[in-house]
Amino acid sequence: MLQVTDIRDRKEEMIAALAKRGIDAKQVLEAILEADETRRSTQAKLDETLAQSNTFSKEIGILYKKGETQKANILKEKTSQLKEASKELSEHLNTASEELQKLLYTVPNVPNALVPSGTDENDNEETFSEGEVPELHGEALPHWELAKKYDIIDFELGVKITGAGFPVYKGKGARLQRALISYFLDKNTAAGYTEYQVPHLVNEASGFGTGQLPDKEGQMYHVTEDDLYLIPTAEVPVTNMFRGDLLTENELPITCTGYTPCFRREAGSYGAHVRGLNRLHQFDKVEIVRIEHPEKSYKALDGMVAHIQELLRELKLPYRILRLCGGDLGFTAAITYDFEVFSTAQDRWLEISSVSNFETFQANRLKLRFKDSDGKNKLVHTLNGSALALPRVLAGILENYQTPQGIKIPEVLVPYCGFDIID
C-alpha cells in the first residue's frame, strides 16, 4: 500500500511511473489526497472539540467548588453539546478513514525506475541466459507422457480424488519431489536463511498484509465457515510472522525460508499451455523471504537472483532471467525478475521462480517498521522469491534429462534420491 505522504510529495512522479503499468493514476491519486484532507480536517475538528470538552469539564468542577452552580450548569450543557458533536465527528472520521483505506487498496505498487514500460509478457526484457539446450532423442516425450510411461505421476488419480490440477506423485516421482524440497531447503539454509514451518491457512488480516487481498481474492481458496484462506505461497504466512513488529536496526536483515504446499484456484486457466505440471491448483514450493533495511534491499535483491542462479546451475537446467515490464508486474511488486527453464520436449520456456522487491508496499500494510539510528520509526523493505517452485522444475528435469534408457537424475540430487535414473 502506498503512503499518503509519498503521494502528496511525489504525485506527478508516481503518475508517470504507474503509467508503465498502463494505468492513468491521476484521478485516483487526487481522490486519495482529497480523502486524506477530509480525514485530517475531521481529525483536527475532533481534537479541538475534545480539548474544549476537557477544559469545560475541569472548569465545571472548579465552579461547583466555588458554589457557582448556575455557571457550572451552563458549562455542563455546553459540554453535553460538545460530547454529541465529538460523537458525530468520530463517526465522520471513521467513515473518512475507511474511504481513504479503500482507495489506497486499489492502487498497485509504483514500479522501480528499472522496470520497462509494456503491456504484457511480450514486453519483458531478457537480462541473462545460461545453459545449453540438450539434443533429445527422436522419441522424446513431454513430461505428462513421461509421467504415465514411468508411472511416477498420476494425473487421473488426482482427478478421482479431488479434481483437475491435483496430481498424485508415486514411487520414484514422489521421492524425486521430496529430494528437490530437501535440496532447496539445504541450499537456502546454507546461504543463511532460517527455516520455518508455517500454517497452510491464514486469516484475512494476513491476506491483506501481503497484498493477496483484495487484489487476488478470486484466486484464493476460501474456507468460508472459519473465514480462513489456503495459502497461495509461503510468502504470506512467513512475511506475516512480523506483522505489526517494531524492529531494531540491528535485527535487519531477517532472512527466512520455508517449504509449503501452495493452493491457487487459477480461475480461467485452460488450454495446452497448462497441461500436466505446467499449471496446478496444488503444488509444492520452497520460498525465501527477506526483511531488509531500505538502503540495502536492492543489493539483497541481486543476492537473491544470484542464489537462484546457483540452484539452476547445479541442476544443469538451461534458464533465462526476465525483468518484467510494467504491464506484467504483480500488484504488490516494485520490480520482479522471473526465471524460466527451457522445456526441450515442449519447446517453450516455463516460469519457475519470481524474485521481487516490494519496497515499503507490503510493510505499510503490515505496519512493519524498524527504529533507525536517529530513533525514528521507518518502514522496512520486504522481498521474496521462489527457490524454487517444484512443478515446472520437475517438468524441466523429466523432459531435459530423458534418454532412451530412462530419465537421468541430476547429479546434485542423486544423494537425496538414492537412485540415479528413473527407468
Distance CA 382, CA 376 (A): 19
Q: Is 354 annotated as contributing to ligand binding? A: yes
Q: Is 10 annotated as contributing to ligand binding? A: no
Please name the residue that has the C-alpha cell 466555588: 66
Q: Find the helix or strand (DSSP H, E) in which 319 lies.
A: strand 319-323
Q: Is 373 annotated as contributing to ligand binding? A: no
Nearest one of 82, 72, 98, 95 to 49, comparing CA atoms: 82
Q: Which three cell numbers stand for residue 179?
A: 529430494
Between 4-18 and 26-66, two packed helices, what is the crossing angle to 10 degrees?
170
Between 171-190 and 390-400, two packed helices, what is the crossing angle to 10 degrees?
120
Q: In sequence order, what are the residues at sequence separation of 6 or more whose Cβ sits closer than 8 angstroms to the Cβ of residue 40?
A: none
End-to-end CA distance of the chain: 51
Other C-beta atoms closer than 10 Å to the C-beta of 324 total: 23
Q: Identify residue 329 by its one-letter amino acid code.
A: L
Distance CA 146, CA 148 (A): 5
Q: Is 279 annotated as contributing to ligand binding? A: no
Q: Is 80 annotated as contributing to ligand binding? A: no
Q: Is 233 annotated as contributing to ligand binding? A: yes
Q: Is 323 annotated as contributing to ligand binding? A: no
152 and 170 in contact (C-beta within 8 Å)? yes
Q: Where are the alpha helices (DSSP H) in 106-170?
A: 143-149, 155-161
Reply yes or no: is the peptide bond before residue 214 cis, omega within 30 of 0: yes
Q: Find the helix or strand (DSSP H, E) in which 194 lies.
A: strand 194-195
Q: Is 264 annotated as contributing to ligand binding? A: yes
Q: Is 399 annotated as contributing to ligand binding? A: no
Look at phi and psi of residue 418 and say left if phi exceeds 0, alpha if psi is from -120 to 50, else beta.
left
Q: Is 352 annotated as contributing to ligand binding? A: yes
Reply yes or no: is the peptide bond before residue 180 cis, omega within 30 of 0: no
305 and 387 in contact (C-beta within 8 Å)? no
**Residues in binding site for ATP:** 264-266, 351-354
**Residues in binding site:** 233, 264-266, 287, 351-354, 384
**Residues in binding site for L-serine:** 233, 264, 287, 384
